[in-house]
Amino acid sequence: MRTARGSATMAPVEPSRAVVSGAAIRHNTEVLRSRTSAQLMAVVKADAYGHGAVHAARAAVDGGATWLGIAQVGEAVALRPGLPDVPVLAWLFSPHADVREAIAAGIDLGLNAPWAVQHVADAAAALGTTARVHLKVDTGMARGGVRPEEWDSFVRAALARPELVVVGIWSHLARADEREEPTTARQAEVFADAVARAEHLGITPEVRHLAASAGVLWHPATHFDLVRPGISLYGMAPDGSDPGALGLVPAMTLEAELTTVKRVPAGTPVSYGHTATVGATTLGVVPLGYADGIPRQASNRGLAVTVGGRPAPVVGRICMDQFVVDLGPDATERAGDVVRLWGPGGTSIEDWARAADTINYTITTQVGPRVPRVHVEEPWT
Ligand SMILES: Cc1ncc(COP(=O)(O)O)c(C=O)c1O
């Protein structure tokens, strides 16, 4: 745990923490592996969806992941020293990015557009080495990747550069979280066709990959050689449904220490704008706010934090650094007592997402840098 001056003997100065269970991530990785015969690339972008990239990656590797996937090249370079022996794919960079450090570190690069072929090949040539690349075809997401009609010339361009070693062919699914939707099957067909054309042109990819969490869970025909789950590793379902029904365990518990506890009379209006008024009760101040990723949209939506095993409703507007909860008229809590915003047995990440009209992905990803991540190996409690 981080402490006030880095000393192990001092109490932490931060009033909150995100407790991340390595055991939960390991368990979730094993659950996903049991659903496929493909290899598993643990997606640890955006600091592992807020969980801490290096620790999450190690836990996923312990659970059987054999690849790591990350969006930005800088994230991959930062991750590399912590996991020097696991293949890492990074797929997001612009024509202005200097990718030489990534190539020198042995990081695989996803090529999303024709310019990237020359860009990465030139960088490898400047280093006097080769770069491992994965060619991306746009099978229907209309985000990264080249469209099928440009695919053959893209493949030929890559083959023409001896500095490129084509390790993978890949794409991404747009609607796999809608279990019965036919787009996924169509994308898989377009993908299989693109792979066949690349092989005809002379590429023998080590890995063909298309599926993220939803593909792993609900579309076996999209698994190919490698699957790329992210959200499900952290114990959340890609469609926002109950993760427990899939055997997944949420890996993050968010908790904070009350900074103020006080009795107030009936009719007390609370927080900015006085959007809520309470009866005679005890209010507690939670030192987390929208600067820490707590969604302001969840104000006055009937959400509760958990304190002493019981729910304490959020009252009034969530502010930048803090918000107020109603501890009830008979509360015995004091400043310093711990409240749990989400975690086992209480309000869930999905509850927060629903209250804020967003998705579970954004809730953990937005937990800000002021909140220390405390990595525990023990199972979740
Ligand atoms: C290209 C790519 N692959 C895999 C993933 C992991 O997706 P999920 O978190 O839904 O499993 C993402 C995340 O958005 C992605 O952009």
The mean per-residue pLDDT over the stretch 364-378 comes to: 95
Is residue 4 scored above 70 in pLDDT? no
| Closest atom of ligand 1 to CA, residue 212 | 11
Taking CA atoms only, the protein residue closest to ligand 1 atom 13 is: 230
How far does residue 222's CA lie from ligand 1's centre (Å)? Answer: 14
Among 25, 172, 227, 233, name the best residue to mutate to test ligand 1's pocket (greatest count of ligand atoms within 8 A of Cβ). 172
CA 271 – CA 324 distance, rounded (Å): 7
The mean per-residue pLDDT over the stretch 63-85 comes to: 97
**Distance of CA 170 to CAs 110, 139, 227, 265, Å?**
8, 9, 10, 61
Is residue 6 scored above 60 in pLDDT? no
Domain 35-242 homologous superfamily, CATH: Alanine racemase (3.20.20.10)
Q: How confident is the model at residue 229 (pLDDT cuts 50, 70, 90)?
A: very high
User: What pLDDT does residue 379 have?
Assistant: 63
How far does residue 43's CA lie from ligand 1's centre (Å)? Answer: 7
| Closest atom of ligand 1 to CA, residue 110 | 1
**Model confidence over 190-224: pLDDT tens digits?**
999 999 999 999 999 999 999 999 999 999 999 99
**For the chain, what is the mean pLDDT?**
96
How far does residue 183's CA lie from ligand 1's centre (Å)? Answer: 17
| Closest atom of ligand 1 to CA, residue 233 | 11
Which residue do the tokens 């990803």 mark?
365
User: What pLDDT does residue 9 have?
Assistant: 60
Is residue 380 scored above 70 in pLDDT? no
Is residue 378 scored above 80 in pLDDT? no
The mean per-residue pLDDT over the stretch 235-241 comes to: 98
User: What pLDDT does residue 1 have?
Assistant: 37
Question: What residue spans define the domains of the chain?
Answer: 35-242, 252-376
Fold assignment, 252-376: Lyase, Ornithine Decarboxylase; Chain A, domain 1 (2.40.37)
- What are the tokens at 331? 């509360």
User: What pLDDT does residue 192 have?
Assistant: 98
Is residue 125 scored above 60 in pLDDT? yes
Torsion over CA of 364, 73, 1 and 295, rounded to 10 degrees? Answer: -20
| Closest atom of ligand 1 to CA, residue 216 | 11
Q: Which residue has the higher pLDDT, 159 or 9?
A: 159
Among 49, 72, 228, name the best residue to mutate to test ligand 1's pocket (greatest count of ligand atoms within 8 A of Cβ). 228
**Model confidence over 128-171: pLDDT tens digits?**
999 999 999 999 999 999 999 999 999 999 999 999 999 999 99
CA 77 – CA 291 distance, rounded (Å): 27
**Model confidence over 261-305: pLDDT tens digits?**
999 999 999 999 999 999 999 999 999 999 999 999 999 999 999
Taking CA atoms only, the protein residue closest to ligand 1 atom 5 is: 212
Around ligand 1, the residues with Cβ closer than 6 Å are: 43, 172, 212-213, 228-232, 238
The mean per-residue pLDDT over the stretch 51-74 comes to: 98
How far does residue 28's CA lie from ligand 1's centre (Å)? Answer: 16
Give φ, ψ of 322 to 5 degrees.
-160, 165
- What are the tokens at 318? 């969530």
User: What pLDDT does residue 242 have?
Assistant: 97
Contacts of 186 (CB under 8 A, 6+ apart): 140
Catalytic residues: 45, 272
Instruction: List the beta bridge partners of residue 170.
Output: 136, 209
Q: How confident is the model at residue 183 (pLDDT cuts 50, 70, 90)?
A: very high
